[in-house]
Structure 1
Amino acid sequence: MLSDRPALRIGSRTSPMAMSMARTVADQVAKFADVAVEHVGIRTTGDQWMGDLSKLGGKGAFLKQIERALLMGEIDVAIHAMKDVPGDVPMPEGTAFAAYTARTDVRDVLVARKGSPYASLDEMPPGTRIGTSSVRRKAQLLKHRPDLHVDRIRGNADARIARLDEKGEFEALVLNRSGLDHVGLAHRASEVLPTEVMCPPVGAGVVGVQCRTADTAICELLRMVDDPVTRTHVSAERTMLHMLQGHCNSPIAGHAHTTPDGQLSLLGMVFTREGGRFAYSQEWDSCERPGELGAYVAADLLRKGARGIIDGIPH
């Protein structure tokens, strides 16, 4: 199907985690087609900036250069962590997510400093400094433990852990479990945080594979690696996110899953940045109606005050 192409060019960020995601997609493509694959690393504005992401327009700073390379024909496929894809910015015309990889573990973990006497969140004494890159995590940490001191720390997961161990600024970090798997650091997790304590972001654990819709052969190939269950879950979550129209500083969490009896469940939460106020909704519907479920949960959150919470947080 793609034998005339010298290589399928897969573009991603240059972080170890993003490159691992790209290799995963390449390995899956290789199961369905005998096609050479070339990885194109793209250092994005978000990767180069160590300040507050809101000053660059939010998580979209991780996408712009990669999507531009796709539109300009410099790459054939763009790889994105779906948790970094904004809900209030439309996709570039002529592109689509032809595949979502099967979802990995969505849970966050506590990574304690080497030599720390504490191994769990509940063991941390009042005033303990915890580091995280996410306003969603900060809000939920402070909702659960308002006596902690939570500060921002940016950078790749391996660099953050090295800083944790070497500088002693923090007693622990909160990171994504599957992300640690990607960079070979899963052993550093001292506690897995249940979703009741730390609801994941929309799109957690999912790699989105974007291509130009005009490249029909590539679209068809990528559809072979698409996971339909994950697509259903992501559709529900992203419909909710889109309808909430949160900006990059909005702590919004959402997680869809299929229940043992075959129902589609969606949990959505919106917080103030310090976790003092929040709106919560969980509803169920048929797995054939992810968009309807996402819209219903968003509407329920808005009825419970989500709009005021989101609008009250500075951009």
Structure 2
Amino acid sequence: MTTLAPQAVVRLGTRPSPMAMEQTGRFAQAFHACHPQLTLDIRKITSEGDAHRGPLSQIGGKGAFTRRADTHLLDGRVDATIACAKDLPGSHDRAPGTAVAAVLPREDVRDVLVLPVGHQPVTLAELPPGTRVGTSAPRRAALLASLFPQLVPVPIRGNADSRLDRLDHGRLGADVMIAALAGLRRLGFADRAGEVLDPTLWLPATGAGIIVVEHRADDTVTGGLLAPLTHPATRILLDAERAVLAELAGGCLTAASAHATLDDTGRVIVRAAVLDPAGGPSVRAEASGSTEHAAEIGRRTARALLNAGALRLLAVTHE
């Protein structure tokens, strides 16, 4: 078990991308406000996903963004790691030994259409047939196939800022692209958001808009330092959504969505769907209950999906 002396240094691993560094900076401010006597040593870890320029399916999906950080954490080179929740593989796809210590307040979960600079404002529905829409997410590609079959999803890679630059200069390989509104805001590019897509139709990513900090499961000292930084309501939502993913044995290459909300009475509502990559009907389910049982509600939602035939779609959504 790790022990921390007074005035200790907590080593935090993060990807070096501009977005990762922005969210790390915000976390660092909260950490210093909570623990002014401690030093936060930020260690940049270049992931396999950052270095690879081909399809993520070639290197195991978005787990490529976390495997190297997990290794640094589990072998003791860092005490904690920070990541977007939507990039975290399910527990069935990760080496054991990590645990979520801090969950930051949820940001906007919605996706947006992004157009090249100077393009006349337009919605997805108004784009000409054959327009190439850039996205690396199977969920988004499946939604395009279902809601806008006249459009053509094409895979794109790179950090958000580089994607914007390549889109504006005609080097992205796509005419327009889909991006997370929260990510654009983090980078100061909120003005690039075109049509904001209705999350009741354009289903959000599991864990969308949530930043998590993880530690070694047996390091109770670091866990205790990080826990006070958790936003309780967001932790409930994350636990419910991640439980859906785990029960489905899904991952970042699965065309699926799990989205949890809290109603006016404080109950958690979980809505989830497994999508057809070919654009056919999705399988959907919903469950609700006490926030004390958020994870079980997520599992119950996932079991309802499986009972409704989602297994057939899951078999074709893993690349």
Give me the TM-score of the superposition, normalised by structure 1.
Answer: 0.95
Q: Does 2:18 align with 1:8? A: no
Show the counterpart of 1:74: 77
Counterparts of residues 24-103 of structure 1 (less than 5 Å): 24-34=26-36, 35-87=38-90, 89=92, 91-103=94-106
Q: Name the residue aligned to 2:300.
A: 296
For the 8 Å contact 2:97–2:218, the answer to whether it is kept is yes
1:175-215 Cα offsets, whole Å, 9 max, x none, are: 00111111111110011111022211111111111112333
**SS of equivalent residue, structure 2 residue 299:** helix
| TM-aligned CA distance change 1:131 to 1:199, over 3 Å | same
**Residue of structure 2 equivalent to 1:198:** 202
Letter in 2 for 1:259: D
Match of 1:269 in 2: 273
**Match status 1:123 vs 2:91:** no
Compute the displacement of 1:308 (Å): 0.7
**Structure 1 unpaired stretches of 5+:** none
Aligned AA (1:170): A
Give 1:145's match in structure 2, choosing from 145, 148, 152.
Answer: 148
Aligned residues: 315
Question: Contact 2:203–2:257 (CA<8 Å) still a contact in 1?
Answer: yes
Could you tell me which residue of structure 2 aligns to residue 20 of structure 1? 22
* Greater CA drift, 280-289 or 59-68: 280-289
Using the alignment, how far apart are the partners of 2:91 and 2:228 within structure 1?
28
Cα-to-partner distance string for 1:63-120 (whole Å, 9 max, x where unaligned): 1111111112211110111101112535544331111111111111111111222432
Instruction: Give the secondary structure class of the aligned counterpart of 1:187.
Output: helix
Aligned counterpart, 2:211: 207
Q: How does 1:94-243 map to 2 (within 5 A)?
A: 94-167=97-170, 169-243=173-247
CA distance in 2, matches of 1:314, 1:262: 35
- Structure-1 separation of matches of 2:94 and 2:53: 25
Partner AA of 1:150 in structure 2: P
Q: Which amino acid is the alignment partner of residue 10 of structure 2?
A: L
SS in 1 for 2:278: coil
Q: 2: CA distance between counterparts of 1:142 and 1:90? A: 27
Using the alignment, how far apart are the partners of 1:259 and 1:171 within structure 2?
39
**TM-score, with structure 2 as normaliser:** 0.93
Q: 1:71 to 1:198 in 2, by over 3 A?
A: same
State how far apart, in whole Å, the 1-side matches of 2:7 and 2:100 are.
21
**8 Å CA contact retained: 2:256, 2:272:** yes
Output the aligned Cα RMSD.
1.8
CA distance in 1: counterparts of 2:275 and 2:301, whole angstroms: 15
CA distance in structure 1 between the partners assigned to 2:187 and 2:318 by the alignment: 34
Structure 2: gaps spanning 5 or more residues:
none
Please say if 1:282 is aligned against 2:286.
yes
